[in-house]
Amino acid sequence: MATAVDRHLALIGFMGAGKTTVGEEVARRTGRPFVDTDAVIEARHGSIVELFERGEAEFRRLEAAVVDEVLGRAEPSVIALGGGAYEAARSDRALAVWLQVDASTAWERSRASGRPLAQDETRFRELFERRDYGRVAEGMASDADGVLLAALGIRIGGGRADGDVLLVDARLRELKTFGLDQTIAVHEKSLAEAWRIWSELRIGRDATIVAYGGGTTTDLAGFVAATYMRGVRWIGLPTTLVGQVDAAIGGKTAVDLPQGKNLVGAFHYPDRVVIDPSELSTLPEEERRNGMAEVVKTGLLAGRPLWELPEEEMIRACAAFKASVCLEDPYERKGRREILNLGHTFGHALEAASDYQLPHGQAVALGLKAALQLSGLAVDHPLEVEPVSVDRERAWEALQRDKKARDGKIRLVLLEELGKPVVREAEREEVRAALDELIA
């Protein structure tokens, strides 16, 4: 698996790259322990300067023992490896991300640090050129967001996605020509559709499925990949704003049943998600509005108006935030991932009451309005919402079946303040009143 979901996240790179600073931020955002191997060495054996004075070979022996011990720990952590310890990151125990820096910046950051290998600029630059971090790295980054994206195999800006079979949105299948011989159109995310695709597949267990389309396509393709031959690899190429900021990220795959959305599914993380913002150039305005609802949701959770950023920066920031939550709670076992349902309890209820004719983004936008009201917050955001005509009793019944409910009590994701989500029980009367305000 080309992600750090069940592995350590190891930051490698030259001295001065900022591995400790970035690593501490990534650890905070993912809820993982942070380990700086140089700090462990100094705590146990004395300063690195003194160790080098005894000989670099002895230092490397101690370093190797510490790195091996840290990589052997069971709990997935964020690990900053010393600049020369990167070879140890070539391990199935860790995903190595190369934190990049140019030689001049690295020298300026390191020259006054007292580091033994940063005493002479010429030798420093020669060492910089010799270190081949690319041989070990499974991803590259220059900041914390970049590390988070690399940790889930997310690439922003497009690129190739080689595979053995392509599952493509049926509408895109009519508009484009695709190179793979085995190309199958996806019409809906149902068990019947999954059954049809299982029956048409001509691949082995070592194959890779590529999913090209919106959330319906990536959800269905991921579910097919999770179940065919008990699991094959897959790659997501989301073509909608909803998919690029939310739906294609996080490993949740599912199909719908007549009783509700996403009731049959599995966690099956894609090896890669290739996000090409240029795919949005022909996106219908309604689909863009659907995506902006998820952008606003993410901005409220992050405590930043991400919707004000230029498009590619906005997508990158949203994808990195969701990646951080999923790395902390990859299989929804810790409760942290529940925060991603901000606005969705109301939204899903409205969708169900409309027989799923109400666009998901419009439903989420209405749900965010209710969540902000119950949180006592007013936020200036670009979503325009008007009450919708659905059956009130059906919406209320659907809301009470929300998966966050416990012992018949309604639990909602709300905000203590921007950037501080909380899951709490809510009084039935105030929830019903907030729902009624969303219905014409």
pLDDT class of 1 with cuts at 50, 70, 90: low
Rounded CA-CA distance 325/250 in Å is: 9
Rounded CA-CA distance 195/235 in Å is: 20
pLDDT per residue over 300-349, tens digit each?
A: 999 999 999 999 999 999 999 999 999 999 999 998 999 999 999 999 99
Residue 42 burial (10 A CB sphere; 0-12, 13-18, 19+) = middle
Rounded CA-CA distance 343/294 in Å is: 10
Mean pLDDT for all residues in the chain: 93
Tokens of 116: 């033994």
**Percentage of the chain modeled with pLDDT above 90:** 80
- Which residue carries 């009624």 as its tokens? 436
- Residue 237, SS3? strand
- Whether 422 shows a pLDDT value over 60: the answer reads yes
Q: Which helix (H) or strand (E) holds 170?
A: helix 170-175
Q: Which CATH architecture has domain 336-437?
A: Up-down Bundle (1.20)
Tell me the HSE value of 304 on the side-chain side, using a 13 A CA sphere: 9
For range 88-115, the mean pLDDT: 92
Q: Which helix (H) or strand (E) holds 396?
A: helix 392-400
Rounded CA-CA distance 223/234 in Å is: 10
Q: Assess contact for 235 and 161: CB atoms under 8 A.
A: yes
- Residue 159, SS3? coil
Cβ atoms within 10 Å, residue 425 = 14
- Which residue carries 């940063």 as its tokens? 118
Q: What angle do CA 157, 159, 160 make, to 5 degrees?
A: 160
Rounded CA-CA distance 432/119 in Å is: 68
Residue 327 burial (10 A CB sphere; 0-12, 13-18, 19+) = buried
Q: Assess contact for 243 and 215: CB atoms under 8 A.
A: yes
Q: What are phi and psi of 214, to 5 degrees?
A: -85, -165
165-283 and 336-437 share one fold: no
Q: Assess contact for 22 and 144: CB atoms under 8 A.
A: yes
Tell me the HSE value of 52 on the side-chain side, using a 13 A CA sphere: 10
Rounded CA-CA distance 162/210 in Å is: 8
pLDDT per residue over 53-81, tens digit each?
A: 888 888 999 999 999 999 999 999 999 99
What's the whole-model pTM score? 0.94
User: Any idea where the domains of the chain sit in the sequence?
Assistant: 8-143, 165-283, 336-437
Rounded CA-CA distance 98/106 in Å is: 14
pLDDT for residue 272: 94
Rounded CA-CA distance 249/50 in Å is: 46
Query: What CATH number matches the domain at 8-143, 3.90.1150.10, 3.65.10.10, 3.40.50.300, 1.20.120.1750?
Result: 3.40.50.300
Rounded CA-CA distance 435/363 in Å is: 11
At a CB cut-off of 8 Å and minimum separation 6, what does 192 contact? none
**Parallel, antiparallel or unpaired: strands 34-36 and 94-99:** unpaired
pLDDT class of 296 with cuts at 50, 70, 90: very high
At a CB cut-off of 8 Å and minimum separation 6, what does 171 contact? none
The single-letter DSSP state of residue 5 is T
Residues constituting the chain: 440
pLDDT per residue over 183-241, tens digit each?
A: 899 999 999 999 999 999 999 999 999 999 999 999 999 999 999 999 999 999 999 99
Which numeric CATH code is attached to 165-283? 3.40.50.1970
For range 346-368, the mean pLDDT: 93
